[in-house]
């Protein structure tokens, strides 16, 4: 069949290094770390006492107080980032066919704060079940897409993808597929997460997944560094307006980039550990390249999953070298998680936005916090350590991988 072209016409971001898309990019380009001691609860008894939190956010500037109380923070973050993206897109909501406009959102966990608070209140009470009537609708992962469709009146496909840290990229690929197959004209897509809670930090600590560099939070997320000791938990949201190319052109929309390919695979290996040889990671990049009808030599920049874990970083680089061969040495590779921390189910959305900005600005954001080389990584690779680098980028690939062995890759093309 004749597949439609899909373009990005609006972006919005709420991140630990900036509360708008432009602020987010400025933080990336300048190598700013979003990590700091946790302020959302007393973390003094936790093994990890820091995170990459959203900062200086007054939710009531964006959402009516009464409505905000009905939402978990992950939904609030979604609403705020999407509002920026919709305004940025210039969509006239009175003129579009809303039956052909949908919402596909991503989150790895959903309403963790709500679940924790409600269960804690019950367990510390007198045993009589007193639950907030909004407990369930605040907690469930799909409610974010529901709220968004209600706000904008989008009556097309509406759901949330849950594939751990691959969730937002999974959502983008699903929206991309619906549009290219002619089943919709416009999608709100992206992801949000708000897991900086006692349960979130405690749970990841129990898995030994988080960095415990409490004496120096801002240097704790150090992908590819020999002394990396785990990821830094982040929170926030990223939103993209995906639109069928002719639809966007007809209304005179500005176009940031074209989404040209995507891939999804499974490691089928372990519930939390990546495949040691990067088997799923290499196959998902191969599928994405084939889907985009590109050769490995066409890619200029890879925004890697790069979480700063001992095993994950190695497996991903092995996968890149397997797929890209000698061209791997011509690539710029970087992990923006070194600055934002790991936004879990929202990571793929903000990293897609990072790729789009990198193409349009001609700047590769750095992998900060590199202090000691690790012999596990080929020194000929350009991992864009510590400082941004200028580069003409025509195609950028973004990887996201999740617990359960979920792998997603997307490829963006610079729009001329």
- Cβ 320 vs Cβ 380: under 8 Å: no
* pLDDT 10s digits, 186-232: 999 999 999 999 999 999 999 999 999 999 999 999 999 999 999 99
pLDDT tier at 276, thresholds 50, 70, 90: confident
Q: What angle do CA 373, 375, 380 make, to 5 degrees?
A: 80
Is the CA virtual torsion 108, 34, 199, 239 positive or negative?
A: negative
Residue 287 is predicted with a pLDDT of 98
Last residue of a domain, one of 192, 224, 250: 250
Residue 170 is predicted with a pLDDT of 98
Say yes or no: 30 and 155 in one domain.
yes
Residue 279 is predicted with a pLDDT of 93
Residue 415 is predicted with a pLDDT of 97
- Give backbone dihedrals phi and psi of 46, rounded to 5 degrees, phi first: -90, 150
pLDDT tier at 145, thresholds 50, 70, 90: very high
Last residue of a domain, one of 204, 227, 250: 250
> Does residue 256 form part of some domain?
no
Q: In percent, how much of the chain has pLDDT > 70?
A: 100
Say yes or no: 213 and 280 in one domain.
no
pTM of the model: 0.98
Say yes or no: 238 and 292 in one domain.
no
Residue 416 is predicted with a pLDDT of 87
CA–CA dist 219, 368 (Å, integer): 8
Residue 351 is predicted with a pLDDT of 98
Say yes or no: 217 and 300 in one domain.
no
The DSSP code for 376 is T
Say yes or no: 233 and 304 in one domain.
no
Residue 1 is predicted with a pLDDT of 75
pLDDT, the chain, mean: 97
User: The domain spanning residue 296 has which CATH number?
Assistant: 3.40.47.10
Say yes or no: 173 and 277 in one domain.
no
Average pLDDT for 49-70? 98
Q: Residue 235 is part of which domain span?
A: 6-250
Say yes or no: 277 and 214 in one domain.
no
Instruction: Give the number of domains in the chain.
Output: 2
pLDDT tier at 317, thresholds 50, 70, 90: very high
Residue 357 is predicted with a pLDDT of 98
- Of the residues 52, 165, 355, 408, only one is catalytic, namely 165
Residue 165 a catalytic site member: yes
Say yes or no: 53 and 154 in one domain.
yes
- Cβ 195 vs Cβ 40: under 8 Å: no
CA–CA dist 24, 29 (Å, integer): 9
Say yes or no: 353 and 396 in one domain.
yes
CA–CA dist 168, 154 (Å, integer): 19
> Does residue 207 form part of some domain?
yes
* pLDDT 10s digits, 98-129: 999 999 999 999 999 999 999 999 999 888 99
* pLDDT 10s digits, 385-400: 999 999 999 999 999 9
């Amino acid at each position: 069949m004749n597949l439609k072209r899909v373009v990005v016409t609006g972006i919005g971001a709420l991140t630990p290094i900036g509360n708008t898309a432009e602020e987010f990019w400025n933080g990336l380009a300048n190598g700013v770390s979003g990590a700091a001691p946790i302020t959302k609860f007393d973390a003094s008894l936790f093994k990890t006492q820091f995170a990459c939190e959203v900062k200086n956010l007054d939710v009531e500037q964006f959402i009516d107080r009464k409505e905000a109380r009905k939402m978990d923070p992950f939904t609030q973050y979604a609403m705020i980032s999407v509002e920026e993206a919709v305004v940025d897109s210039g969509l006239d909501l009175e003129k579009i066919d809303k039956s052909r406009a949908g919402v596909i959102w991503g989150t790895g966990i959903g309403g963790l704060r709500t679940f924790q608070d409600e269960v804690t209140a019950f367990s510390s009470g007198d045993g009589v079940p007193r639950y907030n009537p909004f407990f369930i609708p605040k907690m469930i992962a799909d409610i974010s897409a529901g709220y968004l469709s209600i706000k904008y009146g989008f009556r097309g496909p509406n759901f949330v993808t849950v594939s751990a840290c691959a969730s937002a990229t999974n959502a983008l690929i699903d929206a991309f597929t619906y549009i290219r197959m002619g089943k919709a004209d416009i999608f709100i897509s992206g992801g949000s997460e708000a897991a900086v809670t006692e349960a979130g930090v405690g749970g990841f600590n129990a898995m030994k997944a988080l960095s415990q560099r409490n004496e120096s939070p801002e240097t704790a997320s150090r992908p590819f560094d020999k002394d990396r000791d785990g990821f830094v938990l982040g929170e926030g949201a990223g939103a993209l307006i995906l639109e069928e190319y002719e639809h966007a052109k007809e209304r005179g929309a500005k176009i940031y980039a074209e989404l040209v390919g995507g891939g999804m695979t499974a490691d089928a290996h372990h519930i939390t550990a990546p495949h040691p040889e990067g088997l799923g990671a290499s196959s998902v990049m191969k599928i994405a390249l084939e889907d985009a009808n590109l050769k490995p030599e066409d890619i200029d920049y890879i925004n890697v999953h790069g979480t700063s874990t001992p095993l994950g970083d190695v497996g991903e680089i092995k996968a890149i070298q397997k797929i890209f061969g000698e061209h791997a040495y011509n690539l710029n590779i970087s992990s923006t998680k070194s600055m934002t921390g790991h936004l879990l189910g929202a990571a793929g959305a903000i990293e897609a936005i990072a790729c789009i900005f990198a193409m349009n600005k001609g700047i590769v954001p750095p992998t900060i916090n590199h202090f000691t080389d690790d012999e596990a990584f080929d020194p000929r690779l350009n991992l864009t350590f510590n400082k941004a680098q200028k580069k003409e980028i025509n195609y950028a690939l973004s990887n996201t991988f999740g617990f359960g062995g979920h792998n997603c890759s997307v490829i963006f093309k610079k729009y001329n």
